[in-house]
Amino acid sequence: VLVLTTFENDENVARALRAGASGFLGKDSSPDALLSGIRTVAAGEALLSPGATRALVARFLATPDDDGTVTPDVDNVLTEREREVVALAAHGASNTEIADRLVLSPFTVRSHIARSMAKLHARDRAQLVVVAYQSGLVRPRP
């Protein structure tokens, strides 16, 4: 399921993800971005627009961290390339967009994401994004 909405706020993003959506795009997405999003979700991958990613991260960062978990040391766990890929994913870029920017194939990007998730014990892309923010690999943009 790919959600297309006018309201990219934290509550809507969280509800959609809990309900099983694999993608979340703002209504202002270009036709090319919408088509790419449909293909991404149809391929079994997750996709969050930059606005949805910011909303989800803001919600997470506003929640007190009292579960006793330790944030992984991303600098020592991931390779430089994996950190680049995770940072771009954390800013809401799709695998195709990351591939284009870093001059890689989408398959290679998918491999970097999968290895990073395994190394950081992230169960999905959304959790990988959260770890990227928790660890300081990326910071919220104003």
What are the extents of the domains in the chain?
A: 2-134
Side by side, the strands of the sheet bearing 2-5 are 2-5, 23-26, 47-48
Pick from 27-31, 62-66, 127-131: least confident: 62-66
What is the predicted pLDDT for the residue at 108?
A: 95
CB within 8 Å of 81: residues ≥ 6 apart: 102, 112
Q: Residue 13's closest CA among 62, 61, 47? A: 47
Looking at CATH, the fold of the domain delimited by 2-134 is given as Arc Repressor Mutant, subunit A (1.10.10)
CA angle 91, 97, 103 (to 5 degrees): 115
114 compared with 51, residue with greater pLDDT: 114
Mean of pLDDT values over 80-105 = 93
Q: 3 and 24 in contact (C-beta within 8 Å)? A: yes
pTM of the entire predicted model:
0.61
